[in-house]
Amino acid sequence: MKRGLRLPLEVFAVGLAFLFGMLVLLVAGYPPLQALFALFRGAFGTRNALGQTLTQATPILFTSLAFLLGFRSGIFNIGVEGQFLVGAFVAALSGIFIRGLSFPVHALLALFLGGLGGAIYALFPALLKVYLGAHEVITTMMLSYVALYLTSYFVNYPLKAPGWVAQTELVASSARLPRILPPTQLSLAFPIAIGFAFLVFWFLERTVPGFSIKAVGMNPEASESRGIPVRKYQVLAFVLSGFIAGIGGGGEILGVHGRFVDGFSPGYGWDGIAVSLVGRLHPLGCIFASVLFGMLRAGGMVMTRVTKVPLDLSLIIQALVILFVAAPFFIRYLGGLLRRRRML
């Protein structure tokens, strides 16, 4: 089953989603064309807008890649949010408490440790799955909440910086990822995310473990009989998925906020699942899909300000995009999966 990038169809679906979105605006009594201008101007019209769009796209590119990697091995890691938060938290701690390192070393180390945190956090559901048969949808989702409330506890109590906001101290400046489009919040995390997209692409298409992961995802029984250790590759995919999610969390902390702020993620991990599907579960597709979502988020902000269209309507457009692009494909994919299972 070849999953090529069929760009025209996606573009068409996105256009259709926008058309329907404008219809919704019209019905709700807002000027649809004006709202659309505002959306585009807010997403790409100025340096600031472009920075906002790419800043918003960065974390969801990481989380979509994380979801994708798990999915390709047949694992439904919907707990990317949890691994993202743990990664963010570990990266923040590394940035605060590791001292005496200079810039590139400290930042990269903190980022790597964040990834490691996410990987270890993903190891639990991976082991629970392969050895105890606990379904990962349940375990990863529950563990997401554990991560959410645990990190929230730490920044509200033991690690809270003085002041009224629930947040940690700032990380050392040597651990910060530099901003690449000042004065916007866009940081080095964005090119790193792009790099990861190509890395994942290369890994899945050009390496033996990558191939094995895909084989396991497509048909575990056949892989087993061909001598591919299914459990090993599922654990590997899970851990790598957690690693990328953790890097994403770390990038958000070291690049954008400079500290762990309680509730900084409005659900980037969950968004990653949708973005991954819109990107047709292709690493390079995820780049376009995440930029599209970043555009809707950043443009949506300007749209609400200029035209008083509630932000929820921009979320409706997002939902429509997912619906038009992902749903038919997703249903087809699941159908294919079921058919293969039945044949066995």
Partner 1 sequence: MKRVLLFAMLFLFVLSSFGFAAPKKIGIILATGGLGDKSFNDISYAGALRAKEELGVELDYVEPKAIAEYEGYQRDFAASGEYEIIVCVGFDQADALNKIAQEFPEQKFAIVDMVVNQPNVASLLFKANEGGFLLGIAAAYMTKTGKIGIVGGMDIPLIRDFFLGFEEGVKWANTGAVVLPTVYVGGWADPTKGKELALSLIDQECDVIWAAAGKSGLGALEAAKERGVYAMGVDACQCYLGDHIFASLTKRVDIAVYETIKGAFLGTFQGGIFEKGVAEGWIGNCRFPDEEPFWEERFGFKHSVELPKEALEKMLEAREKIAQGEIRVPRPPEFGG
For residue 3, the one-letter residue type is: R
CA distance 39 to 57: 15
Nearer to partner 1, 31 or 209 (CB): 31
Check residue 245 for interaction with partner 1 (CB under 8 A).
no
Structure tokens at 184: 């916007």
Nearer to partner 1, 224 or 262 (CB): 262
Answer yes or no: are the C-beta atoms of 13 and 291 closer than 8 Å. no
Residues 122-161, mask of contacts with partner 1 (x by CB under 8 A): ----------------------------------xx----
The residue from 28, 165, 334, 338 that contacts partner 1 (CB under 8 A) is 165
Phi and psi at residue 227, to the nearest 5°: 90, 15
CA distance 287 to 283: 7
Structure tokens at 126: 């991976």
Q: In the window 167-206, what residues touch partner 1 (CB under 8 A)?
A: 183-185
Check residue 256 for interaction with partner 1 (CB under 8 A).
yes
Q: Residue 253: which of 132, 115, 123, 71 has the closest Cα?
A: 115
Nearer to partner 1, 201 or 264 (CB): 264
Q: Residue 57: which of 187, 242, 177 has the closest Cα?
A: 187
Q: In the window 262-301, what residues touch partner 1 (CB under 8 A)?
A: 262-266, 298, 301
Helix (H) or strand (E) holding 149: helix 136-156
Check residue 94 for interaction with partner 1 (CB under 8 A).
no
The residue from 10, 22, 25, 42 that contacts partner 1 (CB under 8 A) is 42
Looking at 252-344, list the stretches that DSSP marks H as alpha helix, in order from N- to C-terminal side.
Answer: 268-278, 283-307, 311-343
Check residue 45 for interaction with partner 1 (CB under 8 A).
yes
Q: Kindly list the residues in this chain that would bind partner 1 in the complex (CB under 8 A).
A: 8, 11-12, 15, 33, 36-38, 40-42, 44-46, 48, 52, 55, 156-157, 164-165, 183-185, 256-257, 261-266, 298, 301-302, 304-306, 308, 311
